[in-house]
């Protein structure tokens, strides 16, 4: 790995830590503190989560349609909004204000994720890309470590402000490493991969359709756990700081997971590896509810952390194999379906939890949805993958 590749990888990790680890997922470990202060109800927390995912959905969808001439400017704007919306969460005291901020934060997260991915993937091999997407797990680990420290004075506002400062520092690193000259996306890889026959194009299109469906189901199922994991943990054990501990476990398991799943995919193939990883995730989601204990909460956190970003890595890599010259638009379409599932999940889950007074039904439902996604890949794609082996090998 040369110096430029290393800087791009390092900057990409920093960008994902800002936009995803903090901008998207810091809400999860902070949620119990805000609920304890009776700032909103459980149902309203679902609205806040869905507002964030609606922003993510619209951001990803727009990026799949428009032509981007200056990626650096768009990246700068996304990072700036991520920093601002994180800090401003401490300045508002109403649900309406928070809904707007979470929406803008989600939109900015999609911009940073898609643009950063399009820049970084031009420089990295498949295994190095696994390291890049590990930045989300690193960001989650960071929030798990920092949130208990920032909450020591009992003020939830301090947590958001502290994370805003951390986001600023990481954004400076990301921007310095990733900014490039204004350009349209590279038209590299003008090889035999570009010259699909009509039959192969049909096969690629069919596979892409089932990838988007399965990724949408993954988004719908996993986000319920991603939103309510630490809140559920508090109902299982009274261990001090269990909520933060469980979230740190997710981050620790997530950081190296993308590399591990990339290695397995090279041996097993992406379709089989995706199905296995989603099956493991569904078990990890369900096990703390089926066998509630401190141990199973931590096991579930490990399974969840070890799979959710690895699954994203594999979906993106699979789609890139199908359409090697369309990184940004392909990632944008995948992310659109994923975020559509994410938007629906918390909206429904929050209402069910507020009515039942329990997290059990929505978490089991989430596990079943991920399981359906795992099964849909081999059933939907079938042997069509073999028709592309010579093209994407």
How much is the pLDDT for 386?
Answer: 56
Does 69 reside within a domain? yes
Does 141 reside within a domain? yes
Does 184 reside within a domain? no
**Distant-in-sequence, close-in-space partners of 64: CB < 8 Å, separation ≥ 6:** 328, 329, 332, 333, 335, 336
Listed as ranges, residues in the chain with pLDDT below 50 are 182-199, 390-393
User: By residue range, what is the domain housing residue 89?
Assistant: 3-179+192-392
Q: What is the rounded distance in angstroms from the CA atom of residue 262 to the CA atom of residue 131?
A: 10
Does 126 reside within a domain? yes
How much is the pLDDT for 378?
Answer: 87
How much is the pLDDT for 309?
Answer: 86
Does 185 reside within a domain? no
How much is the pLDDT for 189?
Answer: 39
Number of domains in the chain: 1
* pLDDT 10s digits, 125-175: 766 777 888 888 889 889 988 988 998 877 889 999 999 999 999 999 999
Does 283 reside within a domain? yes
Q: What is the 3-state secondary structure (H, E, C) of the chain?
A: CCHHHHHHHHHHHHHHHHHHHHCCCCHHHHHHHHHHCCCCCHHHHHHHHHHHHHHHHHHHHHHHHCCCCCHHHHHHHHHHHHHHHHHHCCCCCCHHHHHHHHHHHHHHHHHHHHHHHHHHCCCCCHHHHHHHHHHHHHHHHHHHHHHHHHCCCCCHHHHHHHHHHHHHHHHHHHHHHHCCCCCCCCCCCCCHHHCCCHHHHHHHHHHHHHHHHHHHHHHHHHHHHHHHHHHHHHHHCCCCCHHHHHHHHHHHHHCCHHHHHHHHHHHHCHHHHHHHHHHHHHHHHHHHHHCCCHHHHHHHHHHHHHHHHHHHHHHHHHHHHHCCCCHHHHHHHHHHHHHHHHHHHHHHHHHHHHHHCCCHHHHHHHHHHHHHHHHHHHHHHHHHHHHHHHHHC
Find, among 386, 341, 388, 389, the residue nearest to 365 by Cα.
Answer: 341
CATH of the domain at 272: 1.20.1250.20
Does 127 reside within a domain? yes
* pLDDT 10s digits, 326-366: 667 788 888 889 988 888 887 788 788 888 888 888 899 99
Does 186 reside within a domain? no
**pTM of the full predicted structure?**
0.79
Q: What is the rounded distance in angstroms from the CA atom of residue 44 to the CA atom of residue 351?
A: 8
């Amino acid at each position: 790995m040369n110096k430029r590749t290393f800087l791009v990888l390092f900057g990409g990790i920093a960008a994902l830590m800002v936009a995803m680890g903090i901008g998207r997922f810091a809400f999860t470990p902070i949620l119990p503190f805000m609920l304890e202060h009776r700032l909103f109800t459980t149902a309203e927390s679902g609205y806040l989560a869905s507002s964030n995912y609606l922003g993510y959905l619209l951001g990803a969808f727009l990026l799949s349609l428009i032509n981007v001439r200056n990626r650096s400017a768009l990246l700068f704007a996304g990072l700036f909004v991520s920093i601002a919306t994180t800090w401003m969460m401490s300045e508002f005291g109403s649900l309406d204000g928070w809904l707007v901020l979470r929406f803008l934060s989600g939109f900015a997260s999609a911009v940073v994720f898609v643009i950063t991915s399009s820049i970084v993937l031009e420089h990295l091999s498949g295994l190095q890309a696994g390291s890049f997407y590990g930045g989300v797990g690193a960001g989650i680990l960071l929030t798990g470590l920092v949130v208990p420290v920032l909450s020591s004075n009992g003020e939830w506002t301090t947590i958001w402000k502290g994370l805003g400062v951390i986001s600023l520092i990481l954004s400076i690193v990301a921007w310095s490493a990733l900014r490039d000259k204004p350009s349209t996306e590279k038209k590299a890889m003008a090889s035999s991969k570009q010259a699909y026959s009509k039959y192969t194009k049909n096969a690629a299109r069919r596979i892409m359709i089932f990838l988007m469906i399965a990724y949408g189901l993954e988004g719908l199922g996993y986000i319920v756990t991603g939103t309510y994991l630490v809140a559920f943990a508090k109902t299982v054990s009274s261990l001090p700081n269990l909520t933060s501990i469980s979230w740190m476990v997710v981050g620790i398991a997530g950081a190296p997971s993308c590399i591990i799943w990339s290695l397995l995919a090279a041996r097993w193939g992406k379709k089989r590896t995706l199905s296995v990883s989603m099956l493991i995730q569904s078990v990890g989601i369900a096990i703390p509810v089926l066998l509630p204990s401190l141990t199973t909460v931590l096991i579930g956190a490990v399974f969840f952390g070890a799979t959710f970003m690895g699954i994203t890595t594999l979906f993106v890599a699979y789609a890139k194999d199908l359409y090697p010259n369309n990184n940004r638009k392909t990632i944008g379409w995948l992310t659109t379906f994923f975020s559509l599932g994410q938007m629906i999940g918390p909206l429904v889950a929050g209402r069910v939890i507020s009515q039942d007074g329990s997290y059990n039904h929505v978490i089991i439902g989430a596990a079943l949805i991920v399981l359906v996604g795992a099964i849909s890949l081999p059933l939907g794609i079938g042997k069509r993958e073999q028709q592309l082996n010579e093209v994407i090998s």
